[in-house]
Structure 1
Amino acid sequence: MFRFEEPAYLYLLLLLPLSILFYLFSNYIRKNRIKKIGDPELIGLLMPDVSNYRPEIKSGLILICISLFSFLLARPQFGSKLENIKRKGVEIMIAVDISNSMLATDLQPSRIEKAKRLVARLVDKLENDKVGMIVFAGDAFTQLPITSDYISAKMFLESINPSLINKQGTAIGAAINLASRSFTPQEGVGKAIIIITDGENHEGGVTNAVKEAVDKGIQVHVLGVGSANGAPIPQDGTNDFRRDSEGNVIVTRLNEEMCKEIAKAGNGVYVRVDNTNSAEKTINDEIAKMAKIDINSKIYTEFDEQFQAIAWIILFLLFTEMMILDKKNVFFKKIRLFSK
């Protein structure tokens, strides 16, 4: 794995074309001055030891050094290996409801965007823990297998939207079953499932799914997204709202009672998500209470600095530039005369 620790210094490469233009302009000025003195060919005969191409070589070496210097400052690094490390932490599976009802705007900017921002903040608070993500509507599937790579977690989070699942509904039971199977087999580590949903259109099978999770030592927490008063569901591509078969606007409401029942059966907590950070704080407190043991994680280690090699190349080129004289090499000139 290759990276630059300070990539901003690569902008120094913009000096390269400016340096080339400056050299060409200086060369143009020099030739014009020579023409004012006399005929360039005649002047060249009067200075037989002056080389025509060596100054260009010296300038080329300086330009190469400027380029390499920007790479040196950017600190190129190589990740030499993927290493297994042990860190004390817990395992968390986050299941996000992406049914159409999550498009409602009773929470700004929408239920699903509010949920995504909440998850992003939860991930930012994790330390040495593992996290995975599941999305569900009428069905459930794994968006991100459990991992300690928080950058990937946030990247996958951004791609979550209702179009990922065509089958509509709120299959919370399927999501819990899938989450329960997604943890590592490591024993003793605290494990929890965080369900983020508005609880609408309950598909059934939740009771058994929660019981099986608890039997495996997994807690089930629920974050309720939405309001009791409810809100209509925007229709994509229009300024209208979704309607039922009779033409009435569909109003989606948070099923808070069901969310509380799931959390209670799962030995977890229920929190309604609002415009404060109370839900985030409550879940963070629950995570802090979980049993933390050494868990295995795979990360790239030993990002070796490579700037030393570039520095040696720059020094060599600068030394070479100093050794190249503007005059022709007298030694080689004598050899040519001797050979004649």
Structure 2
Amino acid sequence: MFHFANPEYLYGLIAVPLLVLLYIYTSFQRVKKEQRWGSRRMLKSLVPGISVWRPLTKFALLLSALALCLVMLARPQMGARQVTKEKSGIEVAFMLDISNSMLSEDVQPNRLERAKLLVSTMIERMQNDKVSLGVFAGEAYPQLPITTDYASAKVFLNAISTDMVTSQGTNIGAAIRLADKSFTDAKNVGKAIILITDGEDHEGGAVEAAQEVAKEGRKLFVLGVGSTDGTQIPTPEGPLQDENGHPVITRLNEEMCKELSKAGKGLYFHIDNTSNAQTQLQHELDQMQHAPLKDTETAYNEQFQAIGLIVLLLLIMDFFMFETQNPWIDRLHIFRKK
């Protein structure tokens, strides 16, 4: 399949017709000035070496070279192959709580958006690490399998919302087990589960799941988002209410979060309106064991070399062509009328 790796350079081709129009305009102005001095036949007899077609040919050569240079910069590619590369990094599985309580605004703009901002910033700073993405509420759902495609990770991350699930609740145990399944079989490489939640576990079994992944050599980092004071959950119809018509109050359960991180042999960090949690977490990830990770990428075959040779040929032709008649080239009778 033929395509361009950097098609934005092709916009420069808009300048080609503009340069043609400019050349026509300047040529027309030159002819008008020449006519003031006399007829073109008389002027040509006074300057026998002048050529009309040589300047036009040189302009066409340079313009063609310019256009082909722009095409070359756009990197035409055709054909593809799979390339396996080894990179040194770790594996990180992000699990985001998307229960309704994550809409609370005790951190700005709300708990979920604050968590997404933290994950997005961490992904931007990754280089060779592999990352997976999942969400959970009453159940856990995978969003992106483990990959080094950070652009896709950010696309999936931006699409996360509380509307993605119909089963409400907070099943942290299911989230931990799903994150554990996302890792590869690579040995001697650090593997971290980053769980972002407000800690209101409604299903149970979370501590047992954390202990299980710790036995397998994973580290569970729990990031608690929100405040312990408690706040209401906003909805388009007003604060969320229980079956008795009373506003639902959600609080960050730090005790649960700390217990989970301890069981998972990791650490607990509190997400507030600063970047402290992100900085501390990044420091801990940097300390984990980095090992070569095999990653398969699609490599496209570059085709700019042939265009480069044509550009070089055009420039050589332009270099050896003079605007006035040349006795050596004149022997070829290229521009002479028969």
TM-score (normalised: structure 2) = 0.79
Does structure 1 conserve the Cα–Cα contact (< 8 Å) formed by 2:4 and 2:74? no
**2:159 is aligned with 1:195:** no
In the alignment, which residue of structure 2 is the partner of 1:96?
96
Contact 2:10 2:74 in 1 (8 A): no
Does the Cα contact within 8 Å between 1:210 and 1:262 map onto a contact in 2?
yes
CA gap 1:315/1:200 in 2 versus in 1, 3 angstroms: same
Secondary structure of the 2:5 match is strand
Q: 1:129: Cα distance to partner?
A: 2.5
| 1:260 pairs with one of 252, 258, 261 | 258
Displacement of 1:64 in angstroms is 2.0
Task: State the Cα distance separating 1:19 from its structure 2 match.
Answer: 0.9
Measure the CA separation in 1 of the matches of 2:180 and 2:284.
Answer: 18
Alpha-carbon distance, 1:222 to partner: 0.6
Partner of 1:241: 239
What is the DSSP-based 3-state SS (H/G/I as helix, E as strand, rest coil) of the residue aligned with 2:294? Answer: strand
Cα distance in 2 for partners of 1:264, 1:330 equals: 90
**Structure 2 counterpart of 1:137:** 137
* Structure 2 Cα separation of the partners of residues 127 and 58 of structure 1: 48
In structure 1, the gaps of 5 or more residues are: none
- 1:62 aligned residue: 62
Relative to 1, partners in 2 of residues 1:225 and 1:81: Cα closer, same or farther, differing over 3 Å? same
Count residues in correspondence: 330
**In the alignment, residue 230 of structure 1 is paired with which amino acid?**
G
Check the 8 A contact 2:58/2:321 in 1, yes or no.
no
Report what 1:310 is aligned to.
307
> Is 1:3 aligned with 2:5?
yes
Whichever residue aligns with residue 202 of structure 1, its letter is H
Q: How far off is 1:113 after superposition?
A: 1.6
1:148-187 equivalences in 2 (<5 Å): 148-187=148-187
Change (3 A) 1:336 1:67: closer
- CA-CA distance at 1:26 after TM superposition: 2.3
Conserved 8 A contact 1:136-1:175: yes
Would the aligned equivalents of 2:133 and 2:142 in 1 still touch at CA under 8 Å? yes
- The one-letter code sitting in structure 2 at the alignment partner of 1:204 is G
Query: Which amino acid is 2:239 matched to?
Result: F
State the distance in 2 between where 1:304 and 1:336 align.
Answer: 46
The Cα offsets for residues 251-290 of structure 1, whole Å up to 9 and x where unpaired, read as 3221222212211221221111112332123322332333
Specify whether residues 287 and 324 from structure 1 end up closer, same or farther in structure 2 by C-alpha distance, changes over 3 A only.
same
SS at match of 1:156: helix
Deviation of residue 177 (structure 1)? 1.1
Q: Which amino acid aligns with 1:106?
A: D
Give the drift of 1:188.
Answer: 2.9
2: distance between equivalents of 1:205 and 1:137? 14
Aligned partner of residue 187 in structure 1, secondary structure: coil
> Which residues of structure 2 form unaligned runs of 5+?
none
Q: In the alignment, residue 249 of structure 2 is paired with which amino acid?
A: V
In structure 1, distance between residues paired with 2:29 and 2:125: 62
- Tell me the amino acid that sits aligned with residue 315 of structure 1: L
Structure-2 residue corresponding to 1:213: 213
- Whether the 8 Å contact between 1:75 and 1:306 is mirrored in structure 2 is no
Whether 1:76 aligns to 2:75 is yes
Q: Which letter does structure 1 place at the counterpart of 2:75?
A: P
Deviates more, 1:207-216 or 1:266-275: 207-216
Find the aligned partners of 1:291 and 1:66 in 2 and give their Cα distance: 50
Query: Secondary structure at 1:294's aligned position in 2?
Result: strand
One-letter code of the match for 1:316? L
TM superposition score normalised by structure 1: 0.78
Q: 1:19 aligned to 2:16?
A: no
Aligned to 2:269: 271
Q: CA RMSD in A?
A: 3.9
Q: 1:134 Cα deviation (Å)?
A: 1.0
Deviation, 1:81, is 4.5
Q: Secondary structure at the match of 2:282?
A: helix
